Chain A
Amino acid sequence: MDHAKGSNVLSEQRHDQKQGHSVPQGQAPAQLPQIADNRNPGIDLDMDWVRAAQANTSAIERRCATLPGRRSVKKEHQAAWLLKAISMIDLTTLSGDDTPGRVRRLVAKAVQPVRPDLLEALDMTGLTTGAVCVYHDMIEPAVATLDQLGATLPVAAVSTGFPAGLSPFHLRLEEIRESVKARATEIDIVISRRHVLTGDWQALYDEMKAFREACGDAHVKAILATGELGSLRNVARASLVCMMAGADFIKTSTGKESVNATLPVSLVMIRAIRDYFEATGYRVGYKPAGGISKAKDAITYLALIKEELGDEWLTPHLFRFGASSLLGDIERQLEHHLTGHYSAGHRHPIG
């Protein structure tokens, strides 16, 4: 599907959204080249490639351990990077006790993620998070709130028997279709971990392909649940298979595993994304989720993306944080940047 032809609802939404907050009124949207990217259509399963994928854990950990010392951003650069991080957050609530009221608060926060006076001082009025991310039943209140606020953020829904993904296959497909019908424009699916753990790559490919088809025009994020895949090599191979089957994004975690997003897992996944781009010309997005709660961590992630994938990926179109508490820390850092004084949590409105 070609975004440039405007046939994709989501791309238009993003288009508007970006115009809304980061491009001054009246300026041409030509500055947003990513939007012209073709959506990854997938390729045939290439088992030679999958089996050749390697991931040396120690070396990957060393790279990740030294990166924060190699790249740091200060002062206004730090502020700008943190604002960029906000624009990439999928502000998330995925709890059994979610209610329409709770989701309305979350959406309001996503639309106004930083105190207006701070955003104004930073000349970044209009900034929103990248999306909101909820369970299926919460799509409706989320969309309604967005409509009410006149905002155009995408609503992402977790799906396919999230988080374990062990419900009947036809129901998982049906869940996707229901969520798309309910106006979710992004579907975060969970893969069957057992296909990875038993090395049944064909099954994983077929499953992912079916999910992608069920999504239609909605973008599909493939949650690998990396904390349950056993090894970084499996993460690399699962990443490749999901991209071959047409994932728009690959995502680390549900947030429900005992280990969620880590830098080493991220490095493995984005290197797979890079290889996939080099081989096919399609840019697949990346979403680390769970466990990223500090502003400093967000900057390290962005530096990792910049170093390993390049600036092209530093856009909400290709990178998202799945996070709930990260925003609060960033808000405090931004106020510190503006005032020179350390901030307090209660000075920033909650979601």
Chain B
Amino acid sequence: MTIKEIFETMDYGPAPESAKEAQDWLAENAPFGLYINGKMTAPGDTFASKNPANGEELAQITQATADEVDAAVTAARKAQGKWAGLPGHKRAQYLYALARLMQKHSRLFSVLETLDNGKPIRESRDVDIPLVARHFYYHAGMAQLQDAELPDREALGVCGQIIPWNFPLLMLAWKVAPAIAMGNTVVLKPAEYTSLTALLFAQICEEAGLPKGVVNIVTGDGRVGEAITSHEQIDKIAFTGSTEVGRLIRRATAGTGKSLTLELGGKSPYIVFDDADIDSAVEGLVDAIWFNQGQVCCAGSRLLVQEGIADRFYTKLKARMAKLRVGDPMDKCIDVGAIVDPVQLQTVTTLVEAGKHQGEVYHAPCELPANGCYYPPTLITGMSPAATLMQEEIFGPVLVATTFRTPSEAVEVANNTRYGLAATVWTENVNLALDIAPKLVAGVVWVNGTNMFDAAAGFGGVRESGFGREGGWEGLMAYTKPKGDAKALKPIAPVSAPKDAKVDALDRTAKFYVGGKQARPDGGYSQAIWSPKGALLGHVGVANRKDVRNAVEAAHAAKGWAKSTAHLRAQILYYIGENLSARADEFAARIDAMTGGKSGAKEVEAAVSRLFTYAAWADKYDGAAKPVPMRGVALAMHEPVGVIGGFCPDEAPLLGLVSLMGPAIAMGNRVVLVASEPYPLAATDFYQVLETSDLPAGVVNILTGSHVDLAAPMAGHLNLDAVWAQSGADISTIVEMESAGNLKRTWVNNARARDWLRAEGKEFLAHATEVKTVWVPYGE
């Protein structure tokens, strides 16, 4: 076209980014081996990594073998002690060097990422790579501050990290930076579609002079991931990817003692109220669902529009969609690039084909390139929550929409999902925004914006979107553990019935405590509790799965507790302490009678103190306002986890129960506690204290019975949000295994003992809370 013609048409024309430097780098370095112990290995069995924009092969990369994974883990293991032993400042220097090198090679990384993944060069250049550098900078600071600020915590050891293909280098940064900052070493597996920037990162590690073995990178398909997850010498698995694979990893690592964090799928709601700036909310959807072709775990993929503005909103949205430019991701003028692989394109196509009859489909009238993996931006309106596409993650540029009438209905529809990763709220009313944000079941809430990320702000989900946070101080929990080695737990068997029993004339039957009432066991079975001296101390019920069901139901019914003020929760905890103190002698005698020991008085005193501790914490476990790089605030809010099931320890039958109950209810959770199996009577006496302490019914529920028998129904309960297994029985494996059903958070002792006299504080509070990050950009 001549200039004169363009003067009339005002077309954009091509604005290609050059691939030359990246191609040169590939030509120089491919085929690729693995990065193990500071060196690239010789290529083994290789497969092609392709450019999804045109199907062309970019490079051959190696399918790592089990032996090679083993070599990588061995190298990481060998390097870990020394790496963790370096002063924080020294590690900070290495991370700083990595951050600087990222910036220096930013264009090469960006171009390579786009060639490999198909995302628009604008996104690699303006979003992914700057966030990568930012993550390393931020965590250089964390290494620097570790000694001073986290004196009680230390590195986990060797971390196996498995990352997805949608943000290849950014996910690498989110995994590697906090891990090595805290003194861990890593074995990282990039996704097989998108390994190239990880291999370039290996080179950067060399340039930064990173000690060998600190970062190891192994490429290949799911078999490599399996070799990592099942490797005995790995202390922690961090996985970002599909919920389906996350569940497999949860089961595979159950009972192995490995720490686990999962960042999984989502079907995040995007809620538009009728007082919103509609044009901005429409534009926000471009960032929500057409960012990275919708291949974003936290994509705002479920549009919820208030009924009165729905038609106008859809009209504006369709007009906006028609302006999207789909095409060669290396063109700087492109909004939507290529889907990562033909397999993914097929998945998206099939899902939409199967579900589209449940609504009205609008494909943006964008020109698609003839070749390559492209899918048009798509909107499906008129969907009901029952529609498959409203529930299933599509992971493509497809937005499904429905309407709501009131704020409470918006919350109800938004939360009607198995996922809980992110949510977006558009309203000009600050009251509405700040009322809705805490009610949304999600790890991240964006107000009047979407898909905002920063190293200082925690990111992660609840429900089947996984657990653990990445970014911020909270993210360090995933890469550190309390200092010190715990001893093996000595099992305590119940006292068996003596030959010549001494029985009081008056029967004393302890019941369960469910929903504020004493309840008989559903199964109608009881068990005698004997003192070591042969006295019958009483009977307790044997709970079964239905008793668990009833207790969980009662706990859910007490949802008002989560909304009660921290001051009220503190008052009630103090009052429980006061009432326990009034009966201290009785409890001390009971404990001594059950255990045959003399430490009862000390334990009761500690229990009273512990109740005071959590009464104190109730209104002091503050959230934070994160200094994210924008005009606005990212609030890290501590929210209760929900309903927590707890198996109480045997070493301290009263103190152990109080140690679990205290932090949980202080933070607004409701609990279903299974009392110590051999020594249950302190717990059943304790409910009398609860009954007189103004605690609302259902906040604390107490069962007795076999921990082994109750572990599966409890951990498998799909409406329970977490299970804490601090049991004397060996139930860690079964709890972790069964938790995979709804991917609830678990906290197990792995048959390790704990000194319950000292078991309190932030570690417990962290388990009792979810960090929700609420982004509130502002400005008038």
Contacts and interface: CB of A to CB of B under 8 A. Distances in A.
A59 B277 contact: yes
Contacts of A75: 13
Contacts of B779: 57-58, 61
Interface in A250-296: 271
Interface string B1-40: 1111111111111110000000000000000000000000
Given A123-B3, A231-B780, A58 B448 contact: yes
Nearest to B120: A70
B7 A124 contact: yes
A311 B10 contact: yes
Nearest to B6: A80
A13 to B, nearest CB: 20
Given A54-B278, A307-B323, A77 B13 contact: yes
Contacts of B265: none
B149 interface: no
Interface string A19-63: 000100000000100000000000000000000001111111111
Given A58-B779, A66-B126, A124-B3, A76 B12 contact: no
Interface string B579-593: 000000000000000
Given A72-B333, A74-B15, A76-B1, A54 B428 contact: yes
Contact of B780 (A22, A57, A59): A57
B280 interface: yes
Contacts of B333: 70-73
Contact of A56 (B9, B14, B335, B428): B428
A32 to B, nearest CB: 10
B276 interface: yes
A59 B283 CA distance: 8
A131 B630 CA distance: 40
Contacts of A66: 126
B475 to A, nearest CB: 25
A302 interface: yes
A61 to B, nearest CB: 7
Contacts of A123: 2-4
A302 B10 contact: yes
A77 B332 CA distance: 14
A54 B275 contact: yes
B632 interface: yes
A24 to B, nearest CB: 9
Nearest to A337: B3
A218 interface: no
A182 interface: no
A302 B10 CA distance: 9
A78 to B, nearest CB: 8
Size class of B's contact patch?
35 or more
Contacts of A62: 449, 777
Nearest to B778: A58
Contacts of A303: 12
A77 B276 CA distance: 37
A306 interface: yes
A318 interface: no
A79 interface: yes
Interface in A53-112: 54-63, 66, 69-77, 79-81, 83-84
A137 B4 CA distance: 37
Contact of B3 (A60, A70, A74, A76): A76
Given A55-B277, A70-B333, A74-B13, A83 B3 contact: yes
Interface in B104-157: 122, 125-126
Given A71-B12, A75-B13, A77-B12, A58 B122 contact: no
B10 A54 contact: no
A56 B284 CA distance: 11
Given A56-B448, A57-B779, A59-B449, A69 B126 contact: yes
Contact of B6 (A61, A69, A77, A302): A77
Given A70-B333, A73-B12, A76-B1, A59 B7 contact: no
9 contacts: A55-B277, A58-B777, A61-B779, A72-B332, A73-B15, A124-B4, A231-B780, A233-B780, A307-B323
Interface of B: 1-15, 122, 125-126, 275-281, 283-284, 323, 332-333, 335, 426, 428, 448-449, 630-632, 777-780
Given A57-B778, A80-B7, A306-B10, 9 more contacts: A22-B7, A31-B8, A58-B631, A63-B283, A76-B3, A77-B13, A232-B780, A302-B10, A311-B9
- The 8 lowest CB-CB distance pairs between A and B, nearest first, are A77-B13, A80-B6, A59-B280, A58-B777, A56-B277, A57-B779, A54-B277, A80-B7
